[in-house]
Amino acid sequence: MKFLHVLAAIAWLGGIGFMLFALRPAATATLSPPERLMLTAQALKRFFTLVWVTIVILLLTGLAMLMAVGMKNAPAGWHAMLGIGLVMFALFGHLYFGPFRRLQLAVGKTDWAEGTRRAGQIATLATVNLGLGVLAIAAVYFLV
Ligand code: HEM
């Protein structure tokens, strides 16, 4: 359970790190807005499919580990991870059905100003989720 759980966490957080710190700045430095936004929408579409899979795995394996011990006996860090994890899932749902859908619509309408704004919102929400992910892992390690 923990093996699958950790693999899913690495895939999600590693993917956010790659998008934010490698692909986004590289695309901004080298591509014009239309090319950059079309690349961003296509890359995010593929990455977000993976994120939905990681969310299902994190939730199922996380709950299985919690239930095996029982909520009452679980350390504080596990409760914190459940809480932070649920916030991360909600934030991703908002990001996906809000700014990401709007980014796709903007690209379809070749509205590059709107697309740039939506890509910025996605980057902000993804940064928050990366921070929350680090907090969730820190909670499991340091809150006993
Ligand atoms: C609601 C969802 C979640 C639940 C119920 C949950 C629950 C748990 C539990 C019970 C453990 C085992 C801790 C231990 O054995 O000491 C664990 C470990 C872990 N979780 Fe979660 N988790 C959730 C979400 C997340 C998220 C969103 C991430 C990061 C993206 C994450 C990353 C990790 C990692 C890296 C570990 C391994 C820590 C270690 O080495 O012991 N989890 N989680």
Q: What is the CATH classification number for the domain harbouring 84?
A: 1.20.120
Report residues whose beta carbon is within 6 angstroms of any ligand 1 atom. Answer: 2, 5-6, 9, 12-13, 58-59, 62-63, 65-66, 78, 81-82, 85-86, 88, 133, 136-137, 140
- Residue 144 in this model has a pLDDT that exceeds 90: no
pLDDT digits (tens, 9 = 90+) for 3-43: 999 999 999 999 999 999 999 999 999 999 999 999 999 99
- Give how far Cα 113 sits from Cα of 15, 33, 34, 106, Å: 25, 9, 10, 8
How many domains are contained in the chain?
Answer: 1
The whole model's pTM is what?
0.95
Domain that holds residue 117: 2-142
Calculate how far, in angstroms, residue 98's C-alpha sits from the geometric centre of ligand 1. 27
